[in-house]
Amino acid sequence: MIFQGEPGPDDVEFDRALRPDSFDEFVGQGAIRENLHIAIEAAKRRDEPLDHVLFAGPPGLGKTTLSHLIAASMGTELVVTSGPALGAPKDLAGTLSRLRRGDVLFVDEIHRLPRSVEEYLYSAMEDSAIDVVLDQGGPTGRSVRIRLEPFTLVGATTREGLLSGAFRSRFGMVERLEVYPTDEIHEIIARASVRLAFPIDDDAAALIASRSRGVPRVALRIQRRIRDLAQVRDADRVDFATAEEGLGRLRIDELGLEDMDRRLLRALIERGEPTGLKTLPALVDESEDTLCEVFEPHLLRCGLIDRTPRGRVATSRARAHLGIGPASPNDGELPFEA
């Protein structure tokens, strides 16, 4: 489905156009916004760079947006990269040496940094210096320490547990983003409609919000598709009927489930026994990381699957939602501890 996984180039441009310009315009995550506001104000009064920040949480909740707002609030430049793009220390050295005082280096998927690169960052984060090895492997090999301008590293991760304790401890602020309540998603949709210059009725926005899994990125992409439907119908706004039809065309049901969610639930029900995370991706032809980060959290929140010591199982609520008959005594839905 178009709403899951990594956003495409068009989606990134769309998300950028709707990105808030200040913390005052950022909806939700109130405690995190307040903590960042205090830290930024204190850093500015001391004329120091902001301490390093780690954002953890499911995709689509605003980690990238918050990094842009941090740089804007500090009046510095934002340099964006990702864990997979930094395969070796040399990939990072050039970027670090070009940073000016107070600049923000944003590393998305920071849990995917190779351990050698992660360790290379330690001295950069703590001492504003890096050691560059010259003639590596040769008899005259030596290292040279290069001083860096003090900077702020902002890392984003959906898998905080994959970060080493030593790396995680070097972040002065660790903030965990949570899924949004429906009323905040509703407000995000209403604000987006103003920026898109295409009105949306209140009940239509509420319907989209209720099926957006508590994720702003998902809500905005649904809104984009439904706006398209309204425009080809020569409508001048999104009303409830159009929103309902659009959600039907996108095959998003009243719990916010998409085709992949339903395939996953059916696979668990048909298998009839607890299924391990190594087996489940093969049943639905999806990667393990995507199942863990994108699909499973929402299914757990909805009470549609359980984690057990022997694997994942679909609950009776999942059977009822899919219209499948009650569980048999041998279908694996047993009272295991989560």
Catalytic site positions: 63-64, 108, 158, 217
Spatial distance between the Cα atoms of 199 and 237, rounded to a whole number of angstroms:
5
Pairing of strands 53-56, 129-134: unpaired
What is each CA distance from 248 to 226, 237, 245, 253, in whole angstroms?
Answer: 10, 18, 5, 7
Give the chain's length.
Answer: 338
Spatial distance between the Cα atoms of 89 and 50, rounded to a whole number of angstroms:
24
What is the C-alpha R_g of the chain? 23
Helix axes 202-210, 216-232, angle to 10 degrees: 130
Question: What φ, ψ does residue 68 adopt, rounded to 5°?
Answer: -65, -40
Q: What is the residue type of 144?
A: V
Whether the Cβ atoms of residue 220 and residue 190 lie closer than 8 Å to each other: no
| CB-neighbour burial class of residue 266 (10 A; exposed 0-12, middle 13-18, buried 19+) | middle
Spatial distance between the Cα atoms of 273 and 270, rounded to a whole number of angstroms:
8
Q: What is the residue type of 172?
A: G
Angle at 222 between CA 264 and CA 260, to 5 degrees: 10
